[in-house]
Structure 1
């Protein structure tokens, strides 16, 4: 039996190349979707993020931190969205002295239109089985958390970081986890990468929850 050539790149390198190919496709689609509604990709990313936050909105500094975008770039993008009527400014419910930025109904409509455009990346993911999609999500969460811990990306609003996350507390394998915010059980396929109700948990509690989650998730 023949063997692979000695110059076959290491597995980790091949995975990295594969992820870069997916990222290239997603960047191209982001440009196409943003252009279709008269925005640039950063503006669409910010608007999509604000739509997910609801009417409570977010401060510019928070938007920049969560998305890993510089504050001047965020300010410029928010101002452009304001001029287009896609966002507005209002009093921050947590601090009356501060202003929060929230998506308007027009902004919500723009995000829906962008989301309706054909996406080869979504089609490729949809071609995986439900179990494969679920496993991919769990592996992505692990990678994202490692990047977060290394300081390569800011803290993400994921279930596995959240103070309300209770991993593997139910016997039902289809819904082993519990969200204390809505007091409901849920399964691996419902794990969120970005949640509007997210609240950062204490470091010790998060580490304990993560160990329980990864031990059972494999």
Structure 2
């Protein structure tokens, strides 16, 4: 038998992994619709919405064109164009990095912060749907999603995410999750999608 066509409804019906992929595609469409609708209300593109939200919450070291391009899996040129548009809307400014006047960090101005706080609620309908799941199911879903992201990272489909499963401090111990930084076991609900203490494994690890 040949390979199952993921988006063929007949073949999909008898293949659980294909149905999971199809379901994830529907979820990605939900995010896309919510982003577009939010952006249209404020004259922003979807990536501009995401950039404003990112710049609101992340430290200066990560607020650079290079980091943003890697984080959002886009080219520097695409991110740079989006940033220029946000500059023209007077929502952010660039500040030269100390010791290197050619490199800049990005900073939201007051109007940019106000707008970012407003638009970051675009994903609330999805979060509300997640909260309808029993607590144990939410943790199970988180663990499964992080595992999927990890394998996509390993296949170089997307850049390595700063989550527990990719971190040098993470290991599996006694059949569970363990963080060598805090020297403690982690429950599924403790796993982080984006950790401030994240470090990539060294070549020796």
Task: Give 1:117 deviation, angstroms.
Answer: 4.8
Task: Tell me: CA distance 1:37–1:203, structure 2 relative to 1, closer, same or farther (3 Å).
Answer: farther
Residues 1:108 and 2:113 are matched in the alignment: yes
- Alignment partner of 1:28 out of 26, 29, 33: 33
Distance in 2, matches of 1:198 and 1:92, equals 23
Once the two structures are superposed, the pairs formed by residues 58-207 of structure 1 within 5 Å of their partners are: 58-92=63-97, 96-97=100-101, 98-117=103-122, 119-165=124-170, 177-178=178-179, 180=181, 183=182, 187-205=187-205
Shift of 1:52: 2.9
Tell me the number of residue pairs that the alignment of Structure 1 and Structure 2 aligns: 192
CA deviations 1:152-205 (Å, max 9, x no partner) are: 111111122223446559xxx9xx64473xx48564323222234433222553
Unaligned runs of 5+ in 1: 1-5, 206-218
Measured at CA, do residues 49 and 184 of structure 1 come closer, stay the same or move farther in structure 2, by a change above 3 Å? farther
| Per-residue deviation, residues 93-144 of structure 1 (Å, max 9, x unmatched) | 6x63421223344333322211335743222111111111111111111100
> Do the aligned partners of residues 142 and 91 (structure 1) sit closer, same or farther apart at CA in structure 2, a change above 3 Å counting?
same
SS of aligned partner of 1:99: strand
Structure 2 alignment gaps of length 5 or more: 1-9
Q: Give distance in 2, aligned partners of 1:140 and 1:27.
A: 18
TM-score, with length taken from structure 1: 0.74
Which stretch shifts more, 78-87 or 18-27?
Answer: 78-87
Match of 2:4 in 1: none
Deviant stretches of 4+, over 6 Å: none
Q: CA 1:57–1:152 in 2, change beyond 3 Å: closer, same or farther?
A: closer
Are the aligned partners of 2:164 and 2:191 in contact in 1 as well (CA < 8 Å)?
yes
Higher relative contact order (CA 8 A, sep 6+): 1
> Which of the numbers 7, 15, 18 marks the counterpart of 1:13?
18
- Aligned partners of 1:56 and 1:92 also within 8 Å: no
RMSD of aligned alpha carbons: 2.7
